[in-house]
Amino acid sequence: MTGSGGTAGPVPRLDGVEHRMVDLPGLRMHVAEAGPGEPLLVLHGFPQHWWEWRKVIPELAEHHRVICADLRGAGWTEAPRKGYTRDQLLADLVALLDALGLEQVDLLTHDYSSLVGYHLCLRAPERVRGHLALSIPPPYFGFDIRLPVAMARQARFEFVLPVPGLGPRWLRGRHTIERAMFAAHASRPAAVTSEDLELFVSAFREPERARAGSAVYRHFIIPEAFRIMAGAYRRQRLTTRTLVLLGQDDPIMRAELVHGVDDHVDDWELEVVPGASHFVADDRPDVVVERALEFFGARGAQSAAQHQPGA
């Protein structure tokens, strides 16, 4: 499969997973699917793609139709020059649901895709049954000076990535991503193998994808952080049932920094996961699977049974 203006390399194989390209308005999106049952839309964080979920797909697919989409510019989805804004990333998601004929899904997200997921829940709540978000709470946490201080100490790359020219150049260096992101933000050294790491960082050697990664930070992640801390969403109520898993060792988003959320969400819970840092699905896939099956309930399992031959 190819991206816009270059190749992201061969798609890695995972038993039971099928791949296809879905044509959306102005974008060809790569989707990895596995399992029968009720649809579970699964969205990756930065700088990953669908392979982030390699450890959880097999068990989740026993109960759900798992749909892992590569967001605009990531993985094997096209990487156009434009469209890395809040509204366009959300429009991509809605268009994907429409293209797949899915009126409603369960939602599992991580990192910046959690922010896109919250917008889907806010603007089209009828499309989402429940949202399990990893590493990012709902967009109501107030400003806390400890958050930018932690970013300055532990994630200086956050200030480099949005810069045109400099950000893409930084992303094209394998060892900078490895040292600055995965090594510093994973709890278990073996959670992301060298082979996994190569799959995640190799796409950024393609200039179009390096520019896309920088654009995501410049046009969405950084502006969204400022909007949240400024209280931009406090007039909108989140009605979707929500569970947030935060890694106990996450150097940036810690549970004590999450305050001011309760007054704006109907039904939500926050759980701290021991032995996990920012990359929760890599560090503790067992917890992610267990919580997902509990949170999304028996609908997926029941539907999966109905799809079995002779059922």
Average pLDDT over residues 87-116: 98
Task: Name, in order, each residue with C-beta under 8 angstroms of 191's C-beta and a sequence gap of 6 or more.
Answer: 279, 282, 283
d(CA 37, CA 284): 24
Domain ranges of the chain: 2-306
Whether the predicted pLDDT of 195 surpasses 60: yes
- For residue 219, give both structure tokens: 């046009």
Would you say 212 and 99 are in contact if contact means Cβ atoms under 8 Å apart?
no
Give the pLDDT confidence of 105-124 residue by residue, as tens digits. Answer: 999 999 999 999 999 999 99
Segment 14-21 shows an average pLDDT of: 97
| Residue 236 CB-density burial (10 A; 0-12 exposed, 13-18 middle, 19+ buried) | middle
Residue among 64, 95, 108 nearest 242 (CA): 108
Which of 39, 32, 33, 58 has the alpha carbon at shortest distance from 108?
39
Express each pLDDT in 26-72 by its tens digit: 999 999 999 999 999 999 999 999 999 999 999 999 999 999 999 99
Distance separating alpha carbons of residues 202 and 74, to the nearest angstrom: 11
Query: Using one digit for the tens of pLDDT, what is the confidence trace for 134-178?
Result: 999 999 987 777 777 777 666 667 788 999 999 999 898 766 677
Amino acid sitting at position 163? V
Indicate the CATH number for domain 2-306.
3.40.50.1820
Name the pLDDT band for 305 (thresholds 50, 70, 90): very low
Beta carbons within 10 angstroms of residue 126's beta carbon = 10
Cα 288 from Cα 44, distance rounded (Å): 13
CA distances for 181 relative to 131, 175, 202, 241, angstroms: 25, 10, 15, 30
* Digit-coded pLDDT (tens) for 237-250: 999 999 999 999 99
